[in-house]
Structure 1
Amino acid sequence: MKVLVVGASGATGSQLVAQLLLKQHFVKVVVRSPHKLPESWKNNDHLQIIVASILDLSENEMRVIVNDCDAVASCLGHNLTWKGIYGQPRKLVTDATKRLCNAIKSNKLERTTKFVLMNTTGNRNRDLDERISFAQKCVIGLLRLLLPPHVDNEKAADYLRIQIGQNNKAIEWVAVRPDGLINEDQVSDYKIYPSPTRSAIFNAGKVSRINVAHFMADLINDDNLWDKWKGQMPVIYSSSQDN
C-alpha cells in the first residue's frame, strides 16, 4: 500500500511514518524542511520525500502526488508559537484537507482512497449527541475567539463530515481525536471510544503520540478496523487513564 503523510516532520507525523514503514508500506511525505528529518528516512527505499509547502503546490502537482496513493493521512498542526498560533496560514489544516480531497476526487479513480485526519477531543462530533457542560461550552466559545488553530481543527473535521460525508465514492475518512498528547518511546495499551468519556477542558486525559500514530497506521492497514470507524471521529486515550 502507498500512503501520503502530510505533517510528517511533526512530533506525531514522524511517529506515523515510522509505524507505516514498520508495516512495510511505501510512504510519501511532503515537508518544507527536509533537514529536520531522520537520516534513516533519506536512504529508505520505501520512503519518498517531496520538499514543498503543502499549500503552495499547484492543483496539478497535488493530483499527481495523490494519484497512486491508497491512503492520505494528515498530522498537520500549528506550531505553539505566537506566529504559529496567530500568523498565516490560519486555516492550514482545513485548506490542506480540502485541497487534498479535491485532488483525490479530480483523479476519478475507480477505487476509494482512505483519508485519516488527526484532530482533537476539544472538537465535538456533531453527527452524534455529544453533550458537554455549560462551562465547557463557554470555554470552547472563548477558544474559538482567541485561538485560530481550534477553529481550524473544527472546520477541517466539518469539511469531512459535511462535504465528503458518508457515501462519497472517492473518499472514505476517519478523524482521530486524541486527548492531551505526551511523548513516549514505545507503543502501550490504549482505548478507542466513539466520543469523549471525560471533559477535554476540565478533566482531560492523556495519550502518547506514538499510540496515536499506531492507531492511525492500523486504520490504514486493517480494513476491518477501518470499516468499524470510517465516517466517525474516534477518541483515543492511553489505557492507564481512569476513564
Structure 2
Amino acid sequence: MAVLVVGASGATGRQVVEQLLSSGQKVKIIVRSLEKLPESWKNNKQLHTIHASVLELSDSEMRQHVNGCQAVVSCLGHNLTWKGVYGHPRKLVTDATRRLCHAIKTSNPEHPVKFILMNTSGNRNRDITEPISFAQKCVIALLRLLLPPHVDNEKAADYLRIKIGQNDPNIEWVAVRPDNLTHEAEISDYKLYPSPIRSAIFNAGKTSRINVAHFMSNLINNNELWHQWKGQMPIIYNTASLV
C-alpha cells in the first residue's frame, strides 16, 4: 500500500511527504518539475516519483497511479504570480480532485480510499451552519470576482461535499482548512475545530505548514482520528496564535 501526493513540490506538499516517509509510509508523488525536490528524496526507496503534470495524465494513467493507494493527498495550489493567479488552469485544484476521485472509483479499491484535500479557512463548510459577518460576506464576494484561486478552492471542496458525499463506497474524505499559513521548522501544539472560531478575513490566526502536514499524516496513519474527522472540513490553528 502507498500514499499518493499531488502538489508534493510545494511548500506544504514537501512537508506532507517528509511526514509520511518518517512514519514509514510508501509514497508516490506526481510533480511537474524535478528541480525543486530535496536530494534526500532521490535515493529514497520508499518514494516513487512520477514526472508529469497531473492534469495532462490520461484517465488510464491516473487510474494506474492511484491503484493500490490507501490514501490520496492533494496539496495543489496556484502560484502567487500573475500567471499563477489569472492564467490557466484556473480550476487546477477542482479538476485534479474530480479526476483523481474518478480514477479511484474506476480502480475499484478493495477498501475506501482516504482523500485529503488541502483547502482554506476562507471557505465555508456549507454542510453545516457557519455564520459569518456581513462584512466578511462582502469581502468573500469580492474574492470570488477578483481571485480565481479562491473559487477553485471552494469548488474543489464542494465536489467532495456534494458529488462524493458522506456514503461513497470507494472514497472517504477530509478537507483540511488551515488559517494564515506560516513557515516553521518544528511541529508545535495545534488545535482542531469543526468550524472557524475567528474571522479568516478580519482576525485570522496562524497555522504552520509543518503542523498541517503532521495532521494530514496522522489522518492517514490513525484510523481513530480519521473516523473523527471524515466527511468534515476541520480548521487547524497553531495553539500559540489563539492566545
- Match of residue 12 from structure 2: 12
Report the TM-score, using the length of structure 2 for normalisation: 0.99
Structure 1 residues 109-135: Cα deviation after superposition (integer angstroms, max 9, x where no partner): 221100000000000000110000000
| In structure 1, C-alpha distance between the alignment counterparts of 2:83 and 2:176, rounded to whole Å | 26
SS of 1:240 mapped into structure 2: helix
- What does 1:66-215 align with in structure 2 at a 5 Å threshold? 66-215=66-215
RMSD, matched Cα: 0.6
Q: Which runs of 5 or more residues in structure 1 are unaligned?
A: none
State the secondary structure of the residue aligned to 1:28. strand
Asked if structure 1 preserves the Cα contact closer than 8 Å seen for 2:68 and 2:109, the reply is no
Cα distance, 1:241 vs structure 2: 1.5
Q: What SS does structure 2 have at the residue aligned with 1:36?
A: coil
Following the alignment from structure 1 to structure 2, what is the Cα–Cα distance between the partners of residues 65 and 107? 10
Per the alignment, in what secondary structure is the counterpart of residue 240 of structure 2?
coil
Give the ranges of 4+ consecutive aligned residues of structure 1 lying more than 3 Å apart after TM superposition: none
Give how far 1:158 is off: 0.1
1:128 alignment partner AA: I
Partner AA of 1:155 in structure 2: K
Cα offset, 1:145, TM superposition: 0.1
Amino acid at match of 1:17: V
Looking at structure 2, the residues matched to 49 and 107 of structure 1 have their Cα atoms a distance apart, in angstroms, of 20
> Which residue is 1:238 aligned to?
238
What SS does the aligned partner of 1:80 have?
coil
Return the alpha-carbon distance in structure 2 between the equivalents of residues 20 and 159 of structure 1. Answer: 26
SS of 1:204's equivalent?
Answer: coil
Aligned residue for 2:158, secondary structure, equals helix
Conserved in 1, the CA contact under 8 Å of 2:178 and 2:235? yes
In 2: Cα distance, 1:32 partner to 1:49 partner: 10
In structure 1, how many angstroms separate the alpha carbons of the residues matched to 2:241 and 2:17? 26
Question: What is the letter of the counterpart of residue 158 of structure 1?
Answer: D
1:216 aligns with 2:216: yes
Partner of 1:24: 24
Q: Which residue of 1 aligns with 2:54?
A: 54
Shift of 1:242: 2.1
How far has the Cα of 1:51 moved from its partner?
Answer: 0.1
Question: Scaled by the length of structure 1, what TM-score is found?
Answer: 0.99
- CA positional deviation for 1:35: 1.3
d(CA) in 1 for partners of 2:63, 2:90: 24
Q: Secondary structure at the match of 1:35?
A: coil
Query: In 2, distance between residues paired with 1:82 and 1:108?
Result: 40
Percent identical pairs in the alignment equals 71
Amino acid at match of 1:70: Q
Give the match's secondary structure for 2:28. strand
CA distances 1:2-33 after superposition (whole Å, capped 9, x unpaired): 10000000000000000000000000000000
Partner SS, residue 195 of structure 1:
coil
